[in-house]
Amino acid sequence: MRLPQKKLSIRIDGELISAVEGQTILQAAKANGKYIPTLCDLEGLTPVGACRLCIVEISGTDRLFPACTTPIQDGMSVTTASTRLAHHRRISVELLLVERNHTCAVCVSNGHCELQSLASAMGISTVRFAYNYPKLGVDLSHPRFVLDHNRCILCTRCVRACADLEGAHVWEITSRGIHSRIVSDLNQKWGESRSCTNCGKCVQACPTGALAAKGCAVEEMVKRADNISSLVHRREVQV
Amino acid sequence: MPRIQDIGAFSAVREAGLAKLVPAVPRIAIGMGTCGRGNGAEGLYHAFAEAIERSGINVVLASVGCFGACFQEPLANLRLPGFPLVILHRVQANDAGRILHDVASGSLPPDLIYCKIEEWDHITASIKYGRGYPEIPLWNEVPFFKGQKKIVLRNCGFINPDDIEEYIAIGGYQALYKVLIDGRPEFVIEQLKASKLRGRGGAGYLTGNKWEFMARAKADHKYIICNADEGDPGAYMNRNEIESDPHSLIEGMIIGGYVMGASGGIIYIRAEYPLAVHRLTRAIDQAREYGLLGENILGRGFKFDIEVVEGAGAFVCGEETALIASLEGQAGRPRPRPPFPAQKGLWGYPTNINNVETWYNVAPIVTRGPAWFSETGSPKSSGTKVFSLVGKVTSTGLVEMPLGTPLKTFIYDIGEGGIGGRQVKAVQTGGPSGGCIPPEMFDTPVDYESLTQLGSIMGSGGMVVMDEDNCMVDVARYFVEFTHSESCGKCIPCRVGLNKSLRILNRVTEGAGTMHHLELLDELSRYIRECSLCGLGQTAPNPVLTTLRHFRTEFEDHIVSGRCQAGVCEELAVSPCENSCPLHMNIPRFLQLYKEDRLEDAFEAVIMDNPLPSSTGRVCQHPCDSRCRRQTIDEAVNMREVHRFIADSILLSNRYEHMVQRILVRRLEHTGRKIAIAGAGPAGLTAAFYLAMLGHDVTVYDAKPEAGGMLRFALPEYRLPKSVLQREIRLIEQLGVKFVFNTRIGFDIPLNDLDDRFDAVFISIGTWKESWVYQPGTELKGVYPALMFLEATARGEEPPIGRKVAIVGGGNAAIDSARTALRRGADVTVFYRRERKDMPAIEEETQAATDEGAKFVFLAAPHRIIGDAAGKVKSIEIVKTRLGEYDVSGRRKPISTDDIRRYECDAVILAVGETVDLDFAKASGLSLKESGTLDVNRFTLETSRSRFYGGGDVVTGASNVSNAMAYGKQAARNIDLQLMEANRWARILPLFDYGNELPAEPSPNHRHAGHIPAANVRVRSNAEVVTGFTHEETLDESCRCLRCDIKVANVS
């Protein structure tokens, strides 16, 4: 039996909002129709606070907090949009765009890409930093799916979807820093992975064209990340 | 040995330990930390062991940890029964025999003595060694230890870290016993809170509060962790503490385990510290054996154990959440907090993590109480902190000082300043997460808040000193490279942001940076600091932000002038000597040309880099010498003398006219532009030379009747014969430069007039005004400002100076005046308010003056000059000074005392510095700096008035010939660039094809020096003192060059 949840009052961008204890700022904001940009967050997966797009200001402190992992406190006053936040978020997106080879015109996710939509929503038409142009491979070994490292933003949504939902733990990150890469199993080819169940949850969770179904045209490759969320939701209800 | 279960057993162990620590026979202990071993302590130990066995002398030989003075390694300590403990330094293996011999006869090796200790406070107990040896300084009378207070390092260097009995002998585990007997954990927490001990890992959170939080947490398991993952470059405090005294850590942790109710303790230590791991593991085994760890500790029914886990060396694992991940067998990546480890830590259980040093402070606080502890340090930061003082500082090592001690105490008192008197440029605290602090801020007290205010952090205690050989852009680049390669890659700001920062910094050090890059770098750094997930990313931009804030001019130098003053960024320099030369002469080129027997080419190469080569060949302060890499083999190449020989061989010979024709050929077509130069000193002459070569019509005005400025009127004949200078000026005249003498700009010709008649004006009027400090008696007959005296002498006059001359000052003008007066047979005494090493005069000149018989009185400032009835100087009174606080230049400020002394004299020459003629400055209407010098753009040399440029001493204040000439060169280049709107500079510079082969073997010859007659001979004449090289010597010296200018060598 669930105990009745304690209600808390917080302010988001000045508006008084009622939320439930234990919620993060992001959850409370979403529940009240407030938009905070995110990339690594996906409802239903454990938040990791990696992309730093959901940073918000909390009055009383100069520091910035990721909305996805910061629990709400009664009386908290949150600002989700300001010049400073917009400025920082813009740099984050710019950095992602120069880190790897995001060539939208030839990407299967063109038009359905979360990174692309964010960039265009922010009005990013040029970047101020030099492109890295890393030489990265594409893993075509899986019969149904492809992994294109060129498009990967290391959000680890695939890693968490596979571990948290499917329980298969196929994906992990190898190396560190700028050399970090997604690997399947112990750095084997995806097609040779023995733990992969071919369920495709990772593909649906992926915000960019890094993971995609084979044989799909651009118009067909629409990801259903909301399926992941509703799957989690339905499981919770059954319990 | 049985398990210690009661006080009786405790005492028995203690007695056994004391018998080893303070035996009835002599004891020799060798410092065997990693630092000692690296300097040969192991060999020393074996040498002693052998010698003892051979001789059969009854001596106890022990191995101990490090006492902290790393620059004096290998350290050993020696004690004869009943006498003080004597610390020996720089002991070598072959000293063992004679030391033992001395010990047998009850004496000490005099040359190896560093200091003595009569009584040592181990905090938990104290040891009285005995009194004696009045001639040996006490440990805290030695500069390196003065003011140090050893709480954390209380046992380091005294006890054998491998022997628990010695630790118990100095009161070890007594605090634990007290806590267990007392049975009130909350009382210990109260004590810690009252002591205001703050976490020593860097963040400075109050330890008492942290412990209380943990003690209150309810869970099946609780863990305490010691963070010994010390990974900052240049920091080794924790390594040394564990190597020297592992039991203090273990005791602190057992107390913590009891107080916080933990079920287990873990020490997470770097695998790169094998000796520390070894000693720690051994100490834990011993503690278990003695009943201090495991079941039923000290018979009080408390169960606790400690496990050592070796970290794989990732820097990020020092971050607590990454450390926990690493302990759980996952990749070391941090996770967001909350939840904090105290809520959900290792395996999901409450966990308390403290730094090594924090644990070391526990037993002392329990033993002596919080009031005693908070006596030391500043109000907000109590206690002491251990720092590893390293880098470009004379004395390096581990320094434990009360918190709140000013930075300059560390650098100048303990560290004894820069190496070889070099000027300290910055100190970097807190490792890659910290920042660089400039000398203007060395007054800052070292505590958590003050350092944070400067954009740095205290961190775990690294303190890296940098001097003028360090490039601050490169320093920033180095640290970013480090954090970039250690970033875990989880969050974008740290992973990609640092990657982009590094790329920008790389571009700047390669000379490909732009000013826009700097703005971007600043913006990016602030973003990384505010947005990163963990402490690594949040602090990684600190080195960049602080260098941008405090050393912005160095960034600008790299970008705008493509120069790295420190000579670190190799892409920006031909060679270290070229980089150090204010005129940037291509030194390896003329050395090679001379080697190839191409004298005329060599001359052309020299004069096109430096239009006054014979004069500078004599009087330049030759910074190139100190940068020459040949010094690593023997001594620097004598580049100045070679260039003097090359210049003299042409200028003073019959090949002169031929060479003038050759240079005239290089002159560019006539432009019709007219340029006026005010001041015919080195800066003005240089500008005139280049502007004439560039095809302009140049007129030089000077207030004096002849050209040459300071070279002509201040430098004495014996240093620079005027005939030499005359030749150089003649060459400039032959290029078509017109001279107008006895004309003062701004007075005889108004600036507006110049503005109308010329296309550009270069002002280089120098500093001809004495910065005359009025003192009682300066109006007397026989008191001369140095410049006036030297100028009169240069004109051939002989101002009356009598028999005894007093000179006040320590610069080149003082020494020139002294040597000039000596040549007139006077008895000369120089009074200087600081010490000899602080004198700004060229060292060789001071030495020459001393050899010629000048007397020096240091720490003496003028008080008043006393005259006789006729108004003539009779004597001078000086006030003795003492040296006080350090100033920004790293020298100590002289402070007057009450001690006034009188010296009889017939003349007083005041050489207290020269300054810009303020009359001119005011009349000109040009904007000035606070110091009264002309304010110009650092790169273009433009003044506040358009088309007016300034350079030389009038901009820098009194400096030297080559610096002034560098301004002339820079001005010519900029004036031409702006007048002609094209870069024509390269067109006048000659290009030569010359050998680009590295010497197979460095030439075996040693450095040649110019020839100097004996002091008693030269002092009787005004003839030039230093005569130049012969052809053979010049060739020899040229062959000594190692050709650092060859960047890519063909290695077969």
Q: Which residues of B touch A88 (CB under 8 A)?
A: 527, 530-531
Mutate to test the interface with B, among A53, A85, A129 (most CBs of B within 10 A): A129
**Closest-CA distance of chain B to residue A225, Å:** 22
Q: Do B493 and A95 touch (CB under 8 A)?
A: yes
- Pair (B349, B409) in one structural domain: no
Domain assignment of residue B616, yes or no: no
- Distance between CA atoms of residues B826 and B26, nearest Å: 61
pLDDT at B835 over 50: yes
Residues 100..139 of A with a Cβ closer than 8 Å to B: which?
128-130, 132
If you measure CA to CA, which chain B residue comes closest to A98?
Answer: B496
- Pair (B155, B244) in one structural domain: no
Q: Tens digits of per-residue pLDDT, B82-116?
A: 999 999 999 999 999 999 999 988 889 999 999 99
Last-in-domain residue among B436, B470, B504: B470
Considering CB atoms only, which of B338, B488, B533 is closest to A177?
B488
Q: Tens digits of per-residue pLDDT, B735-749?
A: 999 999 999 888 889
Q: What is the pLDDT of residue A2?
A: 58
pLDDT (tens place) for every residue of chain A, 239 residues total = 456 678 999 999 999 999 999 999 999 999 999 999 999 999 999 999 999 999 999 999 999 999 999 999 999 999 999 999 999 999 999 999 999 999 999 999 999 999 999 999 999 999 999 999 999 999 999 999 999 999 999 999 999 999 999 999 999 999 999 999 999 999 999 999 999 999 999 999 999 999 999 988 888 889 988 888 888 888 776 54
Q: Which residues of B touch A96 (CB under 8 A)?
A: 492, 496
Q: Tens digits of per-residue pLDDT, B54-81?
A: 988 899 999 999 999 999 989 999 999 9
pLDDT at B869 over 70: yes
Mutate to test the interface with A, among B326, B340, B492 (most CBs of A within 10 A): B492
C-alpha B692: how far from chain center: 42
Considering CB atoms only, which of A52, A132, A179 is closest to B491?
A52
Amino acid at B500: K
pLDDT above 70 as % of chain B: 99
**Closest-CA distance of chain A to residue B522, Å:** 13
List helix spans (H) across B610-638.
Answer: 613-619, 624-627
Residue B688, C-beta contacts closer than 8 angstroms, at least 6 positions apart: B677, B680, B698, B700, B732, B737, B968
pLDDT at B916 over 90: no
Domain assignment of residue B533, yes or no: yes
Q: Which residues of A touch B531 (CB under 8 A)?
A: 52, 55, 64, 88, 92
Longest CA–CA separation in chain A, Å? 56
Q: Which residues of A touch B340 (CB under 8 A)?
A: none
Q: Tens digits of per-residue pLDDT, B264-297?
A: 999 999 999 999 999 999 999 999 999 999 999 9
Length of chain A: 239
Q: Do A52 and B488 touch (CB under 8 A)?
A: no
- Pair (B90, B238) in one structural domain: no
Q: Do B491 and A95 touch (CB under 8 A)?
A: no
Domain assignment of residue B949, yes or no: no
Domain assignment of residue B325, yes or no: yes
Last-in-domain residue among B101, B135, B164: B164
Q: Tens digits of per-residue pLDDT, B752-768?
A: 899 999 999 999 998 88
Q: Which residues of B touch A49 (CB under 8 A)?
A: 335-336, 491, 533
Q: Which residues of B touch A173 (CB under 8 A)?
A: 331, 489
CA B48, B52, B54, B55 dihedral sign is positive
Chains A & B: contacts with CB separation below 8 Å: 96
Considering CB atoms only, which of B497, B523, B531 is closest to A64?
B531
- Pair (B539, B449) in one structural domain: no
- Pair (B285, B407) in one structural domain: no
Q: Do B495 and A63 touch (CB under 8 A)?
A: no
Q: Do A50 and B492 touch (CB under 8 A)?
A: yes
**Closest-CA distance of chain B to residue A79, Å:** 15
Q: What is the pLDDT of residue B661?
A: 93
Assign B27 a pLDDT band (cuts: 50, 70, 90): very high
* ipTM metric: 0.96
- Using a 10 angstrom Cβ sphere, with 0-12 exposed, 13-18 middle and 19 or more buried, the burial of residue B293 is buried
Q: Which residues of A touch B485 (CB under 8 A)?
A: 177
Q: B74: which 2 tokens?
A: 């290998």
Using alpha carbons, select from B852, B855, B891, B807 the residue that is nearest to residue B1020: B852
Considering CB atoms only, which of A47, A129, A154 is closest to B500?
A129
Using the Cβ of A177 and the Cβ atoms of chain B, whether some distance falls under 8 Å is answered with yes
Q: Which domain holds residue B75?
A: 7-164
Q: Which residues of A touch B481 (CB under 8 A)?
A: none
CATH of the domain at B418: 3.10.20.600
Q: Which residues of A touch B314 (CB under 8 A)?
A: 176
Last-in-domain residue among B569, B597, B622: B569
Q: Do A179 and B489 touch (CB under 8 A)?
A: yes
Coil, strand or helix at B711: helix
Mean pLDDT throughout B243-270?
95
Residue B98, C-beta contacts closer than 8 angstroms, at least 6 positions apart: B109
Q: What is the pLDDT of residue A239?
A: 47
Least confident segment among B121-125, B805-809, B875-879, B932-936: B932-936
Q: Which residues of B touch A128 (CB under 8 A)?
A: 520
Q: Tens digits of per-residue pLDDT, B166-176?
A: 999 999 999 99
Q: Does the N-terminal peptide bond of residue B613 adopt cis geometry, omega within 30 degrees of 0?
A: no
**Closest-CA distance of chain A to residue B372, Å:** 35
Q: What is the pLDDT of residue B29?
A: 95
The neighbouring-strand residues paired with B311 are: B270
Mean pLDDT throughout B911-920?
78
- Distance between CA atoms of residues B527 and A85, nearest Å: 10
Question: How many domains, in total, are found in chain B?
Answer: 5
Q: Which residues of A touch B489 (CB under 8 A)?
A: 154, 173, 175-180
**Closest-CA distance of chain B to residue A182, Å:** 12
Mean pLDDT throughout B573-583?
93
CATH of the domain at B555: 1.20.1440.230
Domain assignment of residue B355, yes or no: yes
C-alpha B1016: how far from chain center: 39
Whole-Å CA distances, B690 to B530, B656, B706, B765, B984 = 51, 19, 20, 18, 11
If you measure CA to CA, which chain B residue comes closest to A93?
Answer: B492
Q: Do B527 and A88 touch (CB under 8 A)?
A: yes
- Distance between CA atoms of residues B600 and B591, nearest Å: 12
Q: Do B338 and A178 touch (CB under 8 A)?
A: no
Q: Which residues of B touch A149 (CB under 8 A)?
A: none
**Which residues of chain B approach chain A closer than 8 Å at the C-beta?**
314, 316, 331, 333, 335-336, 338, 484-493, 495-500, 503, 520, 523-524, 527, 530-533
pTM: 0.90
3-class SS string, B844-911: HHHHHHHHCCCEEECCEEEEEEEECCCCEEEEEEEEEEEEEEECCCCCEEEEEEEEEEEEECCEEEEC
Domain assignment of residue B359, yes or no: yes
Q: What is the DSSP string of B92-134?
A: -GGGHHHHHHHHHTT---GGGEEEEESEEE-SS-EEE-----T
**Closest-CA distance of chain A to residue B471, Å:** 25
- Distance between CA atoms of residues A85 and B649, nearest Å: 70
Domains of chain A: residue spans and CATH:
7-81 (3.10.20.740), 86-238 (3.30.70.20)
E-strand ranges in B920-963 read: 948-950
Q: What is the pairing mode between strands B827-831 and B804-808? A: parallel
- Pair (B434, B559) in one structural domain: no
Least confident segment among B352-361, B503-512, B993-1002: B993-1002
Coil, strand or helix at B807: strand
CATH of the domain at B245: 3.40.50.11540
Q: Do A177 and B489 touch (CB under 8 A)?
A: yes
- Pair (B109, B218) in one structural domain: no
- Pair (B864, B898) in one structural domain: yes
Using alpha carbons, select from B154, B68, B142, B155 the residue that is nearest to residue B388: B68
Domain assignment of residue B695, yes or no: no
- Pair (B318, B462) in one structural domain: no
- Pair (B180, B77) in one structural domain: no
Domain assignment of residue B689, yes or no: no
C-alpha B565: how far from chain center: 15
CATH of the domain at B64: 3.40.30.10
Coil, strand or helix at B687: helix
- Pair (B51, B177) in one structural domain: no
pLDDT at B950 over 50: yes
pLDDT above 90 as % of chain B: 76
Q: What is the DSSP string of chain A?
A: -PPPPPEEEEEETTEEEEEETT-BHHHHHHHTT-----SS--TTSPP---S-TTEEEETT-SSEEETTTPBP-TT-EEE---HHHHHHHHHHHHHHHHHTT--GGG-TTTTS-HHHHHHHHTT--S-SS--------EE--SSSEEEEGGG-----HHHHIIIIII----EEEES-GGG-EEEETTTB-GGG-SS-----HHHHH-SSTTEEETT--TTT----HHHHHHHHHHHHHH-
- Distance between CA atoms of residues B630 and B642, nearest Å: 15
- Pair (B72, B113) in one structural domain: yes
Q: Tens digits of per-residue pLDDT, B149-162?
A: 999 999 999 999 99
Least confident segment among B331-345, B454-468, B912-926, B949-963: B912-926
Helix count (H) and strand count (E) of chain B? 44, 33
Q: Do A129 and B336 touch (CB under 8 A)?
A: no
- Residue B950's CB is within 10 A of a number of other CB atoms, namely 28
Q: Tens digits of per-residue pLDDT, B691-740?
A: 999 999 999 999 999 999 999 999 999 999 999 999 999 999 999 999 99
Using the Cβ of A92 and the Cβ atoms of chain B, whether some distance falls under 8 Å is answered with yes
If you measure CA to CA, which chain B residue comes closest to A153?
Answer: B492
Residue carrying structure tokens 């398990």: B3
Using the Cβ of A91 and the Cβ atoms of chain B, whether some distance falls under 8 Å is answered with yes
Q: Which residues of A touch B533 (CB under 8 A)?
A: 49-50, 52, 66
Using the Cβ of A52 and the Cβ atoms of chain B, whether some distance falls under 8 Å is answered with yes
pLDDT at B1052 over 70: no
Q: Are B1018 and B1012 in contact (CB under 8 A)?
A: yes
Q: B850: which 2 tokens?
A: 């001393």
Mean pLDDT throughout B775-794?
88
If you measure CA to CA, which chain B residue comes closest to A65?
Answer: B531
Mean pLDDT throughout B786-811?
91
Average pLDDT over chain B, rounded to an integer = 92
- Distance between CA atoms of residues B632 and B855, nearest Å: 35
